[in-house]
Structure 1
Protein backbone atom coordinates (compact mmCIF):
# COMPACT_ATOMS: atom_id res chain seq x y z
CA UNK A 1 0.00 0.00 0.00
CA UNK A 2 1.33 3.42 -0.97
CA UNK A 3 1.08 5.68 2.09
CA UNK A 4 3.03 8.57 0.60
CA UNK A 5 -0.18 10.59 0.27
CA UNK A 6 -0.68 10.49 4.02
CA UNK A 7 2.94 11.38 4.72
CA UNK A 8 2.86 14.60 2.69
CA UNK A 9 1.13 17.88 3.59
CA UNK A 10 -2.07 17.30 1.61
CA UNK A 11 -3.92 20.27 3.14
CA UNK A 12 -2.51 23.79 2.96
CA UNK A 13 -5.16 25.68 4.88
CA UNK A 14 -3.95 26.75 8.33
CA UNK A 15 -7.36 25.94 9.70
CA UNK A 16 -6.90 22.31 8.72
CA UNK A 17 -3.20 21.91 9.63
CA UNK A 18 -4.09 19.96 12.74
CA UNK A 19 -5.75 17.34 10.53
CA UNK A 20 -2.56 16.94 8.46
CA UNK A 21 -0.49 16.45 11.61
CA UNK A 22 -2.93 13.90 12.94
CA UNK A 23 -3.00 11.97 9.64
CA UNK A 24 0.79 12.03 9.42
CA UNK A 25 1.13 10.70 12.99
CA UNK A 26 -1.38 7.90 12.31
CA UNK A 27 0.30 6.98 9.01
CA UNK A 28 3.81 6.89 10.49
CA UNK A 29 2.68 4.64 13.33
CA UNK A 30 0.82 2.38 10.90
CA UNK A 31 3.94 2.08 8.77
CA UNK A 32 6.04 1.20 11.82
CA UNK A 33 3.54 -1.49 12.87
CA UNK A 34 3.35 -2.94 9.36
CA UNK A 35 7.15 -3.05 9.20
CA UNK A 36 7.40 -4.97 12.46
CA UNK A 37 4.70 -7.45 11.41
CA UNK A 38 6.17 -8.02 7.94
CA UNK A 39 9.74 -8.63 9.10
CA UNK A 40 9.16 -9.72 12.68
CA UNK A 41 10.20 -12.72 14.70
CA UNK A 42 9.51 -13.50 18.34
CA UNK A 43 12.34 -12.60 20.72
CA UNK A 44 13.20 -14.27 24.01
CA UNK A 45 10.18 -14.76 26.24
CA UNK A 46 8.61 -11.34 25.83
CA UNK A 47 6.15 -12.38 23.13
CA UNK A 48 6.93 -9.14 21.29
CA UNK A 49 8.19 -8.78 17.73
CA UNK A 50 11.45 -7.48 16.36
CA UNK A 51 12.76 -7.21 12.81
CA UNK A 52 15.34 -9.51 11.27
CA UNK A 53 16.96 -6.34 9.96
CA UNK A 54 19.23 -4.20 12.13
CA UNK A 55 17.73 -0.86 13.04
CA UNK A 56 19.57 2.21 11.81
CA UNK A 57 19.27 5.92 12.54
CA UNK A 58 18.76 7.87 15.73
CA UNK A 59 15.36 9.51 15.26
CA UNK A 60 13.82 7.35 18.04
CA UNK A 61 16.85 7.35 20.34
CA UNK A 62 16.26 8.00 24.05
CA UNK A 63 18.29 10.65 25.88
CA UNK A 64 18.31 11.63 29.54
CA UNK A 65 20.27 14.42 31.21
CA UNK A 66 22.75 14.64 28.35
CA UNK A 67 23.27 10.86 28.16
CA UNK A 68 22.41 8.60 25.24
CA UNK A 69 20.58 5.63 26.78
CA UNK A 70 21.91 2.23 25.78
CA UNK A 71 20.58 -1.29 26.45
CA UNK A 72 22.70 -4.41 26.29
CA UNK A 73 23.26 -7.84 27.73
CA UNK A 74 25.87 -10.43 28.58
CA UNK A 75 24.78 -13.65 26.83
CA UNK A 76 25.83 -16.73 28.78
CA UNK A 77 25.50 -20.51 28.78
CA UNK A 78 26.76 -23.43 30.86
CA UNK A 79 28.93 -26.16 29.39
CA UNK A 80 29.17 -29.58 31.07
CA UNK A 81 32.59 -30.45 32.44
CA UNK A 82 34.04 -33.50 34.16
CA UNK A 83 33.25 -32.12 37.61
CA UNK A 84 30.09 -30.13 36.92
CA UNK A 85 29.49 -27.23 34.56
CA UNK A 86 31.39 -24.16 33.41
CA UNK A 87 29.96 -20.76 32.51
CA UNK A 88 30.76 -19.21 29.14
CA UNK A 89 29.84 -15.76 27.79
CA UNK A 90 29.39 -14.66 24.20
CA UNK A 91 31.37 -11.70 22.87
CA UNK A 92 31.30 -9.97 19.49
CA UNK A 93 33.84 -8.04 17.47
CA UNK A 94 33.62 -4.27 17.15
CA UNK A 95 32.78 -2.70 13.81
CA UNK A 96 35.52 -0.19 14.55
CA UNK A 97 38.80 -0.76 16.31
CA UNK A 98 40.23 -3.66 18.24
CA UNK A 99 38.89 -5.70 21.11
CA UNK A 100 35.64 -7.50 21.83
CA UNK A 101 32.29 -6.29 23.14
CA UNK A 102 29.00 -7.46 24.59
CA UNK A 103 25.89 -6.76 22.47
CA UNK A 104 24.47 -3.32 23.15
CA UNK A 105 22.92 -0.38 21.35
CA UNK A 106 20.53 2.54 21.54
CA UNK A 107 17.35 2.18 23.59
CA UNK A 108 14.55 3.58 21.43
CA UNK A 109 11.28 5.27 22.33
CA UNK A 110 8.97 2.52 21.01
CA UNK A 111 10.38 -0.28 23.18
CA UNK A 112 11.08 -1.17 26.79
CA UNK A 113 14.65 -1.46 28.00
CA UNK A 114 14.24 -5.25 28.13
CA UNK A 115 13.02 -5.34 24.53
CA UNK A 116 15.95 -3.17 23.46
CA UNK A 117 18.45 -5.51 25.15
CA UNK A 118 16.92 -8.57 23.45
CA UNK A 119 16.84 -6.80 20.09
CA UNK A 120 20.52 -5.88 20.30
CA UNK A 121 21.45 -9.45 21.23
CA UNK A 122 19.59 -10.70 18.17
CA UNK A 123 20.87 -8.05 15.76
CA UNK A 124 24.52 -8.05 16.80
CA UNK A 125 25.13 -11.58 18.12
CA UNK A 126 22.34 -13.66 16.62
CA UNK A 127 21.14 -15.14 19.91
CA UNK A 128 17.82 -15.38 21.73
CA UNK A 129 17.12 -16.32 25.30
CA UNK A 130 15.67 -15.43 28.70
CA UNK A 131 16.62 -12.22 30.49
CA UNK A 132 17.60 -13.20 34.02
CA UNK A 133 17.99 -9.78 35.59
CA UNK A 134 19.26 -6.24 35.26
CA UNK A 135 22.88 -6.07 36.34
CA UNK A 136 23.02 -2.30 36.73
CA UNK A 137 23.91 0.85 34.83
CA UNK A 138 27.32 1.99 33.65
CA UNK A 139 28.30 5.38 32.28
CA UNK A 140 30.93 5.84 29.60
CA UNK A 141 32.00 8.35 26.97
CA UNK A 142 32.07 7.62 23.27
CA UNK A 143 33.63 9.89 20.67
CA UNK A 144 31.31 8.38 18.06
CA UNK A 145 28.15 9.30 19.99
CA UNK A 146 28.70 13.04 20.17
CA UNK A 147 25.72 14.97 18.80
CA UNK A 148 23.13 17.66 19.43
CA UNK A 149 21.45 15.82 22.32
CA UNK A 150 24.69 14.34 23.61
CA UNK A 151 27.47 16.89 22.89
CA UNK A 152 29.99 15.27 25.22
CA UNK A 153 29.35 11.75 23.95
CA UNK A 154 28.02 10.55 27.31
CA UNK A 155 26.24 7.18 27.34
CA UNK A 156 24.44 5.25 30.05
CA UNK A 157 24.26 1.48 29.54
CA UNK A 158 21.55 -0.69 31.15
CA UNK A 159 23.00 -4.19 31.16
CA UNK A 160 21.22 -7.53 31.62
CA UNK A 161 22.20 -11.18 31.93
CA UNK A 162 20.80 -13.23 29.03
CA UNK A 163 20.45 -17.02 29.37
CA UNK A 164 20.93 -18.11 25.74
CA UNK A 165 18.45 -20.70 24.47
CA UNK A 166 19.02 -20.38 20.73
CA UNK A 167 21.95 -19.40 18.53
CA UNK A 168 20.92 -18.46 15.00
CA UNK A 169 22.92 -19.39 11.91
CA UNK A 170 21.98 -16.14 10.18
CA UNK A 171 21.42 -12.76 11.82
CA UNK A 172 21.33 -9.09 10.76
CA UNK A 173 24.97 -8.18 11.45
CA UNK A 174 26.61 -11.49 10.62
CA UNK A 175 28.72 -9.95 7.86
CA UNK A 176 29.91 -7.09 10.07
CA UNK A 177 30.77 -8.94 13.30
CA UNK A 178 32.37 -12.13 14.53
CA UNK A 179 31.10 -13.91 17.67
CA UNK A 180 32.90 -16.24 20.04
CA UNK A 181 32.22 -18.00 23.33
CA UNK A 182 34.74 -17.55 26.15
CA UNK A 183 35.23 -18.93 29.62
CA UNK A 184 34.78 -16.10 32.12
CA UNK A 185 38.51 -15.62 32.93
CA UNK A 186 39.29 -15.36 29.21
CA UNK A 187 36.36 -13.00 28.62
CA UNK A 188 37.64 -10.62 31.29
CA UNK A 189 40.93 -10.39 29.41
CA UNK A 190 39.12 -9.82 26.12
CA UNK A 191 36.90 -6.96 27.38
CA UNK A 192 37.67 -3.83 25.41
CA UNK A 193 36.65 -1.38 28.14
CA UNK A 194 36.92 -1.21 31.92
CA UNK A 195 33.18 -0.71 32.42
CA UNK A 196 32.54 -3.98 30.56
CA UNK A 197 34.78 -5.86 32.98
CA UNK A 198 32.75 -4.38 35.82
CA UNK A 199 29.51 -5.53 34.19
CA UNK A 200 30.91 -9.04 33.69
CA UNK A 201 32.04 -9.24 37.32
CA UNK A 202 28.54 -8.20 38.37
CA UNK A 203 26.97 -10.78 36.04
CA UNK A 204 29.01 -13.61 37.58
CA UNK A 205 28.14 -12.47 41.11
CA UNK A 206 24.47 -12.02 40.19
CA UNK A 207 24.13 -15.53 38.76
CA UNK A 208 26.10 -17.07 41.63
CA UNK A 209 23.62 -15.51 44.07
CA UNK A 210 20.78 -17.45 42.47
CA UNK A 211 18.81 -14.34 41.51
CA UNK A 212 16.73 -14.63 38.34
CA UNK A 213 14.16 -11.87 38.09
CA UNK A 214 13.78 -8.83 35.85
CA UNK A 215 10.71 -7.58 37.73
CA UNK A 216 12.70 -6.57 40.80
CA UNK A 217 16.18 -5.89 39.42
CA UNK A 218 19.26 -5.26 41.49
CA UNK A 219 20.46 -1.86 40.34
CA UNK A 220 24.05 -0.78 40.56
CA UNK A 221 25.39 2.43 39.10
CA UNK A 222 28.97 3.00 38.02
CA UNK A 223 29.36 6.71 37.36
CA UNK A 224 33.11 6.61 36.82
CA UNK A 225 33.54 7.32 33.13
CA UNK A 226 35.61 5.20 30.78
CA UNK A 227 36.32 6.33 27.23
CA UNK A 228 35.23 4.42 24.16
CA UNK A 229 36.93 5.35 20.90
Structure 2
Protein backbone atom coordinates (compact mmCIF):
# COMPACT_ATOMS: atom_id res chain seq x y z
CA UNK A 1 0.00 0.00 0.00
CA UNK A 2 1.52 3.39 -0.96
CA UNK A 3 2.28 5.88 1.79
CA UNK A 4 0.08 8.98 1.86
CA UNK A 5 1.80 12.12 0.69
CA UNK A 6 2.83 14.57 3.37
CA UNK A 7 1.42 18.04 3.15
CA UNK A 8 3.86 20.70 2.05
CA UNK A 9 5.05 23.19 4.70
CA UNK A 10 3.08 25.94 2.95
CA UNK A 11 -0.11 23.89 3.09
CA UNK A 12 0.48 23.02 6.76
CA UNK A 13 0.97 26.71 7.63
CA UNK A 14 -2.16 27.66 5.70
CA UNK A 15 -4.23 25.00 7.48
CA UNK A 16 -2.87 26.00 10.91
CA UNK A 17 -3.60 29.65 10.23
CA UNK A 18 -7.13 28.96 9.05
CA UNK A 19 -7.91 26.81 12.12
CA UNK A 20 -6.64 29.30 14.70
CA UNK A 21 -9.13 31.64 16.39
CA UNK A 22 -7.54 34.68 18.00
CA UNK A 23 -8.85 36.11 21.28
CA UNK A 24 -9.19 39.82 22.09
CA UNK A 25 -10.81 41.95 24.78
CA UNK A 26 -12.85 45.11 24.28
CA UNK A 27 -14.53 47.82 26.32
CA UNK A 28 -17.98 49.11 25.47
CA UNK A 29 -17.76 52.69 26.82
CA UNK A 30 -21.23 53.95 27.72
CA UNK A 31 -22.87 56.82 29.53
CA UNK A 32 -26.52 57.52 30.33
CA UNK A 33 -28.23 60.50 28.77
CA UNK A 34 -30.52 62.80 30.82
CA UNK A 35 -33.59 61.23 29.17
CA UNK A 36 -32.58 57.69 30.19
CA UNK A 37 -31.08 56.50 26.92
CA UNK A 38 -27.55 55.23 26.46
CA UNK A 39 -24.71 56.80 24.50
CA UNK A 40 -21.76 54.75 23.25
CA UNK A 41 -18.25 56.02 22.57
CA UNK A 42 -16.88 54.65 19.31
CA UNK A 43 -13.32 54.99 18.03
CA UNK A 44 -11.93 54.52 14.55
CA UNK A 45 -9.49 51.74 13.78
CA UNK A 46 -6.05 53.06 12.91
CA UNK A 47 -5.72 51.42 9.51
CA UNK A 48 -9.17 51.12 7.95
CA UNK A 49 -10.75 54.02 9.89
CA UNK A 50 -13.94 52.03 10.46
CA UNK A 51 -15.94 52.60 13.66
CA UNK A 52 -15.18 50.09 16.44
CA UNK A 53 -15.08 49.86 20.22
CA UNK A 54 -11.69 50.07 21.99
CA UNK A 55 -10.11 46.62 21.92
CA UNK A 56 -6.82 44.83 22.07
CA UNK A 57 -4.92 41.70 22.98
CA UNK A 58 -5.09 40.09 26.42
CA UNK A 59 -2.29 41.32 28.68
CA UNK A 60 -0.05 38.95 30.59
CA UNK A 61 -0.62 39.31 34.33
CA UNK A 62 -3.86 41.26 33.91
CA UNK A 63 -7.43 40.04 34.14
CA UNK A 64 -9.31 40.38 30.84
CA UNK A 65 -11.64 43.13 32.10
CA UNK A 66 -8.65 45.17 33.33
CA UNK A 67 -6.96 44.80 29.93
CA UNK A 68 -10.16 46.06 28.28
CA UNK A 69 -10.23 49.08 30.62
CA UNK A 70 -6.60 49.86 29.76
CA UNK A 71 -7.42 49.69 26.04
CA UNK A 72 -10.32 52.12 26.55
CA UNK A 73 -8.02 54.58 28.29
CA UNK A 74 -5.25 54.26 25.69
CA UNK A 75 -7.48 54.34 22.59
CA UNK A 76 -10.32 56.63 23.69
CA UNK A 77 -9.15 58.44 26.82
CA UNK A 78 -12.02 57.20 28.99
CA UNK A 79 -12.03 55.90 32.56
CA UNK A 80 -14.71 54.31 34.72
CA UNK A 81 -15.90 51.13 36.37
CA UNK A 82 -15.90 48.09 34.09
CA UNK A 83 -17.86 44.85 34.31
CA UNK A 84 -15.81 41.90 35.56
CA UNK A 85 -17.60 39.48 33.26
CA UNK A 86 -18.20 39.98 29.54
CA UNK A 87 -21.56 41.40 28.51
CA UNK A 88 -21.16 39.51 25.26
CA UNK A 89 -18.88 38.40 22.46
CA UNK A 90 -18.48 39.14 18.77
CA UNK A 91 -16.30 37.83 15.99
CA UNK A 92 -14.59 39.59 13.14
CA UNK A 93 -11.90 38.89 10.54
CA UNK A 94 -8.54 40.23 11.78
CA UNK A 95 -6.69 41.50 8.73
CA UNK A 96 -3.08 40.35 8.38
CA UNK A 97 -0.18 42.19 6.73
CA UNK A 98 -0.06 39.58 3.93
CA UNK A 99 -3.67 40.38 2.99
CA UNK A 100 -5.09 37.30 4.68
CA UNK A 101 -7.41 37.26 7.66
CA UNK A 102 -7.92 35.22 10.81
CA UNK A 103 -11.10 34.83 12.81
CA UNK A 104 -10.98 36.77 16.07
CA UNK A 105 -13.37 36.34 19.01
CA UNK A 106 -13.73 39.44 21.18
CA UNK A 107 -14.96 39.42 24.79
CA UNK A 108 -16.74 42.73 25.48
CA UNK A 109 -16.86 44.36 28.92
CA UNK A 110 -19.18 47.28 29.70
CA UNK A 111 -17.33 50.39 30.90
CA UNK A 112 -19.46 53.12 32.48
CA UNK A 113 -17.53 56.29 31.68
CA UNK A 114 -17.02 58.63 34.61
CA UNK A 115 -14.13 60.65 33.19
CA UNK A 116 -12.97 61.60 29.71
CA UNK A 117 -9.34 62.71 29.56
CA UNK A 118 -8.15 65.73 27.61
CA UNK A 119 -5.14 63.79 26.31
CA UNK A 120 -4.42 60.05 26.00
CA UNK A 121 -1.80 57.85 24.32
CA UNK A 122 -3.57 57.33 20.97
CA UNK A 123 -5.19 60.76 20.64
CA UNK A 124 -4.51 61.96 17.12
CA UNK A 125 -4.31 58.39 15.79
CA UNK A 126 -8.06 57.73 16.08
CA UNK A 127 -11.28 59.69 15.95
CA UNK A 128 -13.67 59.31 18.90
CA UNK A 129 -17.38 60.06 18.86
CA UNK A 130 -20.23 59.78 21.37
CA UNK A 131 -23.34 58.55 19.57
CA UNK A 132 -26.71 57.11 20.51
CA UNK A 133 -26.77 53.36 21.01
CA UNK A 134 -28.82 52.93 17.83
CA UNK A 135 -26.38 55.06 15.80
CA UNK A 136 -23.48 53.04 17.23
CA UNK A 137 -25.19 49.80 16.20
CA UNK A 138 -25.58 51.14 12.66
CA UNK A 139 -22.02 52.50 12.42
CA UNK A 140 -20.14 49.34 13.43
CA UNK A 141 -19.55 46.75 10.71
CA UNK A 142 -19.84 43.63 12.86
CA UNK A 143 -23.47 42.41 13.18
CA UNK A 144 -22.79 40.63 16.49
CA UNK A 145 -21.36 43.83 17.97
CA UNK A 146 -24.36 45.82 16.70
CA UNK A 147 -26.69 43.32 18.41
CA UNK A 148 -24.66 43.53 21.63
CA UNK A 149 -24.89 47.34 21.64
CA UNK A 150 -28.66 47.22 21.11
CA UNK A 151 -29.03 44.68 23.92
CA UNK A 152 -27.02 46.83 26.35
CA UNK A 153 -29.25 49.78 25.52
CA UNK A 154 -32.35 47.67 26.26
CA UNK A 155 -30.83 46.54 29.59
CA UNK A 156 -30.01 50.16 30.55
CA UNK A 157 -33.50 51.42 29.68
CA UNK A 158 -35.11 48.54 31.58
CA UNK A 159 -32.99 49.32 34.66
CA UNK A 160 -33.99 52.98 34.42
CA UNK A 161 -37.67 52.05 34.24
CA UNK A 162 -37.36 49.69 37.23
CA UNK A 163 -35.68 52.44 39.24
CA UNK A 164 -38.56 54.82 38.40
CA UNK A 165 -41.14 52.23 39.49
CA UNK A 166 -39.61 51.73 42.94
CA UNK A 167 -41.59 53.44 45.71
CA UNK A 168 -40.01 56.39 47.47
CA UNK A 169 -38.66 55.07 50.80
CA UNK A 170 -39.64 58.27 52.63
Q: Which residue of 1 aligns with 2:7?
A: none
3-state SS of the aligned residue for 1:109?
coil
> Which has a greater percent of strand?
1
Q: Which runs of 5+ in 2 are unaligned?
A: 1-18, 160-170
Instruction: Count how many residue pairs are aligned between Structure 1 and Structure 2.
Output: 139
Output the TM-score relative to the length of structure 2. Answer: 0.72
Q: Which residue of 2 aligns with 1:46?
A: none
Q: Which residue of 1 aligns with 2:92?
A: 140
1:87 aligns with 2:38: yes
3-state SS of the aligned residue for 2:136?
helix
Question: C-alpha distance in 2, partners of 1:122/1:145?
Answer: 26
Offset of residue 186 of structure 1: 1.5
Question: C-alpha distance in 1, partners of 2:59/2:101?
Answer: 20
Contact 1:68 1:154 in 2 (8 A): yes
Q: Which residue of 1 aligns with 2:13?
A: none
Contact 1:74 1:203 in 2 (8 A): no
Q: Relative CO higher for 1 or 2, CA cutoff 8 Å, sep ≥ 6? A: 2
Evaluate the alpha carbon distance shift between residue 145 and residue 128 of structure 1 in structure 2; reply closer, same or farther with a 3 A threshold: farther
Offset of residue 127 of structure 1: 0.3
Offset of residue 115 of structure 1: 0.9
Question: C-alpha distance in 1, partners of 2:49/2:101?
Answer: 23
3-state SS of the aligned residue for 1:131?
coil
CA RMSD of aligned residues (A): 2.2
Contact 1:92 1:102 in 2 (8 A): yes
Q: Which residue of 2 aligns with 1:188?
A: 137
Q: Which residue of 2 aligns with 1:25?
A: none
Contact 2:22 2:103 in 1 (8 A): yes
Output the TM-score relative to the length of structure 1. Answer: 0.55
Offset of residue 134 of structure 1: 1.9
Q: Which residue of 1 aligns with 2:22?
A: 68
> What are the within-5 Å matches in structure 2 for residues 21-40 of structure 1?
none
Contact 2:30 2:40 in 1 (8 A): yes
Evaluate the alpha carbon distance shift between residue 145 and residue 137 of structure 1 in structure 2; reply closer, same or farther with a 3 A threshold: farther
Offset of residue 209 of structure 1: 5.0
